[in-house]
Amino acid sequence: MTNSSSTGQSEKKRPLYIRYAGPVLLETPLLNKGSAFSVEEKRAFNLEGLLPATIETIEEQSQRAYQQYSQFNNDLDKHIYLRNIQDTNETLYFKLINDHLEEMMPIIYTPTVGLACQKFSQIYRRKRGLFISYPDRDRIDDMLQNATKQNVKVIVVTDSERILGLGDQGIGGMGIPIGKLALYSACGGISPAYTLPVVLDVGTNNQELLDDPIYMGWRQKRISGDEYFEFVDQFIQGVRRRWPNALIQFEDFAQANATPLLKKYQDQLCCFNDDIQGTAAVTVGTLLAACHAQGTQLKDHRVVFVGAGSAGCGIAEQIVAHMKEDGISEEQAISQVYLTSSKGLLTDDMPLRDFQQKFAKAKAEVGGWSSNVQNISLLDLVRESKPTILIGVSGVAGLMSEEVIKTMYASCPKPIVLPLSNPTSKVEALPSDVIEWTEGNAIVATGSPFDPVSYQDKSYPIAQCNNSYIFPGVGLGVIASGATRVTEEMFMTSSDALAACSPLVKGTGDTLLPDLCEIREVSRYIAVQVGLKAMEQGVATKVDREVLERAVEQSFWLPEYRDYRRTSF
């Protein structure tokens, strides 16, 4: 929790002048306090008679809500219950989440949010965020005006084509921006008043949704090509007119669109792609912590990827950048990194996407690694290249088979294994299996949360190498420093900052990544480092370290009620 002597705290204690009253005030989630309105407020805001007599503290409200929450015995129902609190009283929602972050994060975020996206239309209750559909493309400015939030600082936008490892979810993908922004507030201290989730409804190619009478999105096949890119651009330009400084986070776009959109906009506005850059940053941060624990450097490693999409290539780029910082040439670094797709090792005789090209190996050199002339399988590759790090970003469950892991372990006594695909159902290998197949010698981290593994009387904590360690801190750093761009260097800095917070690196514990209960401190630390990097690179409006540190503290929002006074009209 933020230290209560910070100026930020006393700022928040100042009364808030508001113009809503009566039932409308109770129906406004950002302002509603429910049973916590004081006697004076009830009188001043025409709430008398609308609430029970007892006036409660937010702690008491949180306890009741937790009791109700605990009565649900399946995760989706818990998710629906929490979303309902979010849509009626946002302050209480975040108080509850903060009080039970470890327990509730898997409910509001991966893995449960995946199911919530799949069943979005079935479990839909109330509006949240903006649904911008292709047929309404000429009215985007009006739609942005209609947003409940006026002073938006962070937008998470998806077109839902690649929701986690679950593919095209149509407008159901809205669950992801909602979940990500909940973490911006819970972990990164960004007030929910500043956040806006957006889904671009460009149709869906998910036939099940198209056939489902209850589906709530635009019932058409996805638009593509120029039509698609023009539509995304209309949205981006609309945002620039409405909130010129807002940070835009691209989330869960299909890889064919994710990289071109990032390339197109990253030098034009304040934006990033979480799946490419956030995932890369958290993975490299985790690897740096693991290297530290082993007494190695990243440049000492050989890395095999299971999955060669934009996330895999994004991580590979960052690994190469860090290996270069360790003192080896780019060429040498690339030669130590291998990417595999469903067709096996990427080689120069295959059709490749732009972003894959530099990692393709010369078939003439590696052809002998397999008896199969067409392609080199993951197993052949692992046997021949003897990796020390194995990273799963395939979205396909089980690809890190027992044979693959045991083959890796045969030539690497301390393998680092990261099956990162989300949600849990898509993980490339279960941590318990990896620990067993390597006789307890592997360092394992996953994208979704897993319980510690016990193996031969020892307990092995499984770090959750998820971009949620990165994006809240990066966002806070961007806002606090007034950054106008999000550079690759700012992401590299976030990896180093995360690694510096690792209990293994600090010598305070045996886990690779900090506990969730420390995530607010971690986010603040990352924010300051990212803000400093933005200043160094000349993309920030704040230029002084002290001012930046104060801004991070002051802008860190906490779920506390403020006293209300009535605005006189």
Ligand X SMILES: O=C([O-])CC(=O)C(=O)O
CB of 316 to ligand X, least distance (A): 17
Q: Residue 246 burial (CB < 10 Å; 0-12/13-18/19+)?
A: buried
Preceding amide of 423 cis, omega within 30: yes
Identify the DSSP state of 278: I
Residue 54 in tokens: 């007892």
User: Is residue 259 at the binding interface for ligand X, with CB under 6 A as the rule?
Assistant: no
Would you give the distance in Å from CA 343 to the centre of its chain?
28
375 touches 345 (CB < 8 A): yes
The site for Mg ion (CB under 5 A) is made up of 251-252, 275
CB of 311 to ligand X, least distance (A): 8
73 labelled binding-site residue: no
> Is 180 one of the annotated active-site residues of the chain?
yes
Choose the contact partner of 344 out of ligand X, Mg ion, none; CB within 5 to 8 A by kind.
Answer: none
Match 């104060």 to its residue by tokens.
550
Choose the contact partner of 394 out of Mg ion, ligand X, none; CB within 5 to 8 A by kind.
Answer: none
348 labelled binding-site residue: no
3-state percent helix, strand, coil for the chain, nearest multiple of 5: 50, 10, 35
Among 347, 467, 493, 555, binds ligand X (CB under 6 A): 467
Which residues within the stretch 162-221 sit at the binding site for ligand X (CB under 6 A)? 164
**What stretches of 205-254 show up as alpha helix (H) in DSSP?**
207-211, 225-242
Rounded distance between C-alpha atoms, residue 114 and residue 569, angstroms: 45
Among 201, 275, 317, 553, binds ligand X (CB under 6 A): 275
Among 274, 380, 428, 433, binds ligand X (CB under 6 A): 274
User: Is residue 110 at the binding interface for ligand X, with CB under 6 A as the rule?
Assistant: yes
CB of 254 to Mg ion, least distance (A): 12
Q: Name the packing angle between helices 101-108 and 90-99 (round to 10°).
A: 120
- In sequence order, which residues have a C-beta less than 8 Å from that of residue 351 and are 6 or more positions away? none
The greatest distance separating any two alpha carbons of the chain, rounded to the nearest whole angstrom, comes to 82
Among 86, 257, 370, 422, binds ligand X (CB under 6 A): 422
User: Is residue 158 at the binding interface for ligand X, with CB under 6 A as the rule?
Assistant: no
Return the H-helix or E-strand segment holding 566.
strand 564-566
CB of 180 to Mg ion, least distance (A): 8
Q: Which residue is catalytic, options 20, 69, 93, 109?
A: 109
Nearer to Mg ion, 201 or 251 (CB): 251
User: Is residue 433 at the binding interface for ligand X, with CB under 6 A as the rule?
Assistant: no
Nearer to ligand X, 26 or 462 (CB): 462
Q: Which residue is catalytic, options 180, 361, 533, 542?
A: 180
457 labelled binding-site residue: no
Would you give the distance in Å from CA 378 to the centre of its chain?
28
User: Is residue 257 at the binding interface for ligand X, with CB under 6 A as the rule?
Assistant: no
Residues marked active site are found at 109, 180
- Residues within the interface to ligand X (CB under 6 A): 110, 164, 252, 274-275, 422, 447, 466-467
